[in-house]
Structure 1
């Protein structure tokens, strides 16, 4: 009788372990490593018009590394560049999800070495290469930051099913919107007047539920083009779109 109970006990334990492992395992896209529904969505929107100095390049690289390591298992990171939208919305430079590392599994519930290789080859290395390209100046004549945020919100944050998914937008830029309709180069508008204006209504979007970070890349003429009121203007803009600025970071240099 004792042997029968012991066998039944072992079978139950094995069954529980198998069910736990099977429940935790998720099918991932072979390229992006993303599950059907990611556990979180982070978008990095980069606008590098002018070359960075040495200190800025290093600090920017540090922030990118921290960002990459902050993505939780099964969280999605989309990287895009500020660009004109015209007839098409922005296409990501790269999209990857964190498949987890060896620390997320044990030899009982999986293969730690295989998971670590998947993270290194499919997540870490491709993002590192993409980040290296992002740090290069584009030399673009315009900076349609607001249009790019609108595009990103439409394609990445407002998809059905993401209502309760944590969402984060990081804008790395000098924050000087510059298009034919709206240019912060000429002068900074009064925040409330701007968010009540027609040009803003054309580019506004829905950022409700989105935490926003602004990484300000300082220009050589920052004293005249990037006063303190620039950050205040952007806080007003993001707030008018329903988002919340959680962090404003001035990239060193």
Structure 2
């Protein structure tokens, strides 16, 4: 008599569902983990100036000529122009602010730092938006706002070495290899009345041919390649008679390879 085979029990459908769910959970967890690792890997490492260690994404430099005082309304206009320029700097962009002195080629740097980004640019999964906002407030927004309140306070000086100041900024800052081939902007806030022993607009007028014959031509020769230059011009009684000041500075910028963005006269007159 043949043995009867025992019927094997089929796999429970609930067990199959459980296995599928478990596998799906593991795959999803691994995917999420890998995604977080990738996001964390994309986090930019910053240096002590809150700039990417690989170099700032752009450079915006402001040269403030405070060798002579300016009118109150000019100071207000200057403050607004400064705030607008800084507000346009993207995350990872560098801002530097220099003050011109009466000593040729000697500047005072009052600020250097990159926009580290505020909480709106933070990844809530891999960073702390509150701390990022605090860093932006304390290291970028607050000092620049406070600086804008001091713009235009100065005492009268005998010289105004604007060309030497621009030259110093280009050589020491805008020629940095880390920002090569990246957008660069230079704002010059001044009455644009160059006045040194090499060349003085007060003596020669805004005569570019006279400048070319002076020692200032070679003394302050500066490579402005890849740099956009915009002038915020203070109006003075002495400078208003030099109608060709904009043309003089446009020629100098372009002859040195720069892009002359604009010559903008600010409100008021001193």
Which structure has the bigger radius of gyration?
2
Q: Could you say if the C-alpha distance between residues 95 and 165 of structure 1 is closer, same or farther in structure 2, counting changes exceeding 3 Å? A: same
Is 54-63 or 156-165 further displaced after alignment?
156-165
Give distance in 2, aligned partners of 1:138 and 1:128.
22
Sort the Cα spacing of 1:218 and 1:130 in 2 relative to 1 into closer, same or farther, 3 A: same
What runs of 5+ residues in structure 2 fail to find an aligned partner? Answer: 1-18
Cα distance, 1:131 vs structure 2: 2.9
Aligned to 1:58, the other structure's residue is in SS state helix
Distance 2:215 2:204 in 1: 17
2:119 to 79, 84, 102: 102
- State the superposition RMSD in angstroms: 2.0
Query: Structure 2 length normalisation: TM-score?
Result: 0.84
Determine which of 134, 147, 154 is the counterpart of 2:171: 154
Correspondence for 2:135 among 115, 118, 128: 118
> SS of the counterpart of 1:154?
helix
The Cα offsets for residues 63-116 of structure 1, whole Å up to 9 and x where unpaired, read as 111122111111111111123566x75352221211101111142242222211
Check if 1:41 corresponds to 2:59: yes
Listed as ranges, the matches of 1:144-223 within 5 Å are 144-192=161-209, 194-195=211-212, 197-223=214-240
Q: 1:196 to 1:6 in 2, by over 3 A?
A: farther
Distance between the aligned counterparts of 2:135 and 2:113, measured in 1? 12
> Given the alignment of the two structures, is residue 241 of structure 1 paired with residue 256 of structure 2, yes or no?
yes
1:83 aligns with 2:98: no
Aligned length: 248
* 2:24 counterpart residue number: 5
Change in 2 beyond 3 A, CA 1:51/1:91: closer
Distance in 1, matches of 2:27 and 2:256, equals: 59
Q: Deviations over 1:227-247 (max 9, x none)?
A: 1x1001000000011101112
Contact 1:195 1:240 in 2 (8 A): no
Q: Give the superposition deviation at 1:119.
A: 1.0
Shift of 1:206: 0.6
Find 2:80's aligned residue among 62, 65, 81: 62
SS in structure 1 at match of 2:250: helix
Match of 2:68 in 1: 50
Gap change, CA 1:44 and 1:11, over 3 Å in 2 = same
